Chains A and B, each alone.
Chain A
Amino acid sequence: MTSVHQAVPVLLHADAIGDETRAIRDGLRRRGLDSEIFMLPQERAQPNLDASARPLAELLTGANRGAIVLYHYALASQATQLLLDSPLPLVLIHHNVTPAHWFHMIDPAHEAGMAAAATDLPLLRDRTSLALGDSEYTRDELEALGFFPTGVLPIVLDQAPYHEHRAGPLHREITVAPTLLTVGRVAPNKCIEDCIRLLAAYRVGVDSRARLWIVGDADRLPVYRDALTRLVSRLGLDDAVHFAGRVTQQDLIDCYRGAIAYVSMSEHEGFCVPLLEAMVCELPILAHPSTAVPFTLGGAGLQVSPKDFPLMAEALGLLLGDAVLLADHLERGRRRAAELAPERSLDHLVDLLAPLHASPESFR
């Protein structure tokens, strides 16, 4: 049987790369291909570790000769050197690396980790048969680094749970007041401070009842989180901004379904899964069009630049208050979400992989 395996440093549940890796494995299996996920041995226990992954050492044995390996790259790890030393044909799936400068004076370990990831990436250049970025923005970066050939594989997100969702307790909680939503790791490149500033302007100019929910891990970068907390207090928004932390998928979908709009002020994204999730959940989007954001949104979402918060607040207020405009906006989001449907991306991936295999017809 034709084998297309995947390698990751670690496979986690409730993690964008982990979710995509599982979706690709399941999709390849549905297409009759043999597909497993391999990861490095883990030094410490992690509560959301996915035990379905097999040890990377198993992949590197002769038994897998002839297999294509998709290597998901987002951070520096021993997996890079192990794969470089193996004779297996590699396909890079690059999820982009946040530039280290975002973590300067905030977290030296993060800064060093991101710098190492950026340094290691070019090592893969001469060993990859194909380099895929999860957006045009990321593909451009790969091309600039000399990777060839390159392509785009948008994040493969299983959209079914978002459609089949039934409202849970968090839905009732979030719909108590008009709530703007932003989702993702609380990290400086996401510019959460600008979401807070936008809320301040929105409350003054459009709706004084509005709130902001920030959903995502807020514990990893305490220097940044504490600065955000001080900003919230300085702007008098203590009762209006809620750090919800990490939530289950059920709760996350409740948030998307119950908020009035999704806001993204991020200055660096390799793809930005929450934008896709928001479009699938038919949530209006206001975004700052940086890096991969315009690719992910396609023609959808209201993209406003520069960051003039009163202007953004007014634009969002006008959009939400105009039924015709809003319907058109949501329709564009639905169309873009359909373009990014997982089966389309998986078909595209199979088409890209077929020429790399000794018997391309086995992919059809």
Chain B
Amino acid sequence: MATDDDALIRRARRSRDEKQERGVYTPELLESLAEPLDLRPDPSAAAGPAWPEALATATVSVQQPPPSSRPALGPALTATKRAIERALRWYLPPVTEQITRHNRAVLDVLAEHNRQIVELHAELEALRRRVAALEAKAPAGPRAE
């Protein structure tokens, strides 16, 4: 019954207050219990679900063209593609290396931004809790939104 529970809570409140006075529940303990949870997200948490795909596709490389399966023309097409690929070898690999370097640099910049967002988020949460605690202690008056 709710009334029994209400009476129990009243007794519990008296017991808590008495133990607080006796120094059982110390201010240090109460402060420790009020500390926010120390979440340390991986920076990718701030980057959203596309982050693994961005990491996986950052490295660009030139692959040998796959063989053509077209009947009759297939072997000739495969030979032509491979010839073109060989002919461009002096040019394409340096370009893909440059693109890969650029992609990795961009990802490094993003990772640093993500790390900073995660830190700012944690600081914001801590500040919110401090404001809430201060508001709870303060006499009634205007409240921060």
Interface footprint category on B = 35 or more
Closest to B121 in A: A105
B12 engages A314 (CB within 8 Å): yes
A325 vs B32: C-alpha distance when bound (angstroms): 32
Q: Is the interface of B mostly helix, strand, loop or mixed?
A: helix
Q: A311 with B48: in contact, given A205-B25, A223-B39 (CB under 8 Å)?
A: no
User: Chain A, 99-114, contact with B by CB distance < 8 Å: what is the 0/1 string?
Assistant: 0000001111100100
Q: A315 touching B40 by the CB < 8 A rule?
A: no
Bound form: Cα–Cα A308–B17 in Å: 12
> With A193-B37, A314-B19 as given contacts, are A108 and B25 in contact (CB-CB < 8 Å)?
no
Q: Which residue of chain B has the shortest Cβ distance to A304 in the bound complex?
A: B9
Whether the pair A108, B49 counts as a contact (CB closer than 8 A) is: yes
Binary per-residue interface labels of chain A (201-212) against chain B in the complex, 1 for a CB within 8 Å, 0 otherwise: 100110000000
| B41 vs chain A, min Cβ distance (A) | 5
Q: Is A309 an interface residue (CB 8 A)?
A: yes
Q: Which of B1, B12, B32, B45 contacts A315 (CB 8 A)?
A: B12
Contact status A230-B38, CB under 8 Å: yes
What residues of chain B lie closer than 8 Å to A201, measured between beta carbons?
A: 25, 29, 33
Q: Looking at the complex, which one of A105, A227, A231, A317 makes contact with B118 (CB distance below 8 Å)?
A: A105
> In the complex, what distance in Å separates the CA atom of A315 from the CA atom of B47?
44
Report the separation of the CA atoms of residues A234 and B36 in the bound assembly, to the nearest whole angstrom: 12
Contact B19 A226 (CB under 8 A): no
Does A310 contact B19, Cβ atoms closer than 8 Å? yes
A interface secondary structure, majority: helix
Contact across chains for B8 and A325 when beta carbons are under 8 A apart: yes
> Which residues of the partner chain A approach B51 to less than 8 Å between Cβ atoms?
108
Contact B41 A223 (CB under 8 A): yes
Cβ–Cβ contact B8 & A223, under 8 A: no
The CA of A115 and the CA of B43, in the complex, are separated in Å by: 20
A112 to B50, CA, bound (A): 11
Q: Are A112 and B48 in contact (CB under 8 A)?
A: yes
A7 to B11, CA, bound (A): 50
In the complex, whether A137 has a CB less than 8 A from a CB of chain B is no
A73 located at the interface, meaning its Cβ lies under 8 Å from any Cβ of chain B in the complex: no
- B56 part of interface (Cβ distance < 8 Å): no
| Interface status of A328 (Cβ within 8 A of chain B) | yes
Given known contacts A107-B45, A205-B24, A325-B4, A226 and B12 CB-to-CB distance under 8 angstroms: no
**What's the minimum C-beta distance from A331 to chain B, rounded to whole angstroms?**
11
Residues of A within 8 A of B39 (CB): 105-106, 223-224, 227
B144 within 8 Å of A (CB atoms): no
Residues of B within 8 A of A304 (CB): 9
Query: Closest Cβ of chain B: how far from A233's Cβ, in Å?
Result: 10
Q: Which residues of B from 1 to 37 have beta carbons under 8 Å from A? A: 1-2, 4-5, 8-9, 11-13, 15-16, 19-20, 24-25, 29-30, 32-33, 35, 37
B residues at A contact (CB < 8 Å): 1-2, 4-5, 8-9, 11-13, 15-16, 19-20, 24-25, 29-30, 32-33, 35, 37-42, 44-49, 51, 118, 121
Known: A204-B25, A205-B19, A235-B33. 12 other contacts (CB 8 A): A105-B121, A106-B39, A200-B32, A201-B25, A223-B39, A224-B39, A308-B16, A309-B33, A315-B12, A317-B12, A318-B11, A328-B4
B-binding residues in A (CB < 8 A): 105-109, 112, 193, 197, 200-201, 204-205, 223-224, 226-228, 230-231, 234-235, 299, 302-304, 308-315, 317-319, 325, 328, 332
Can you pick out 6 interface pairs between chain A and chain B where the beta carbons lie within 8 Å of each other?
Answer: A223-B45, A234-B32, A234-B35, A299-B2, A310-B16, A317-B12
